[in-house]
Amino acid sequence: MHVKITVYGAEQKCASCIHLPSSKETMEWLEAAVTRKYPDYPIEFTYCDITMPQSEEEKMFAEKILEDEYFYPLVVLNGEVVAEGDPRLPNIYKKIEASA
């Protein structure tokens, strides 16, 4: 089982996220929490700045965020959206366990 978690965001916080951590900070605490809980799982973390997407998948999600279809930070696990705005660890843990 290989899990890839991508966190999408931007330097500037979204209007509804003013009091929350930045997208990059979200990815950092998410990576720390997940790797602490699942030390033996092969989990890859990637950060995507929505202003500079690299792959086709990144471009698709970045476009949807820019078109206000999703809030950022957006957390995508193996191509599936698992959280947006203010991600909740229990929900992310469930998705990781379901993909095992």
Name the nearest CA neighbour of 61 among 14, 8, 4.
8
Specify the pLDDT at position 15: 57
pTM over 0.85: yes
CATH number for the segment(s) 3-98: 3.40.30.30
Quick check: 13 pLDDT over 90? no
- Show me where the domains of the chain are located: 3-98
Quick check: 19 pLDDT over 70? no
56-91 tens-digit pLDDT: 999 999 999 999 999 889 999 999 999 998 899 999
Using alpha carbons, list the distances in angstroms from residue 10 to 13, 14, 97: 7, 8, 28
33-51 tens-digit pLDDT: 999 999 988 999 999 999 9
Name the nearest CA neighbour of 77 among 37, 39, 34.
34
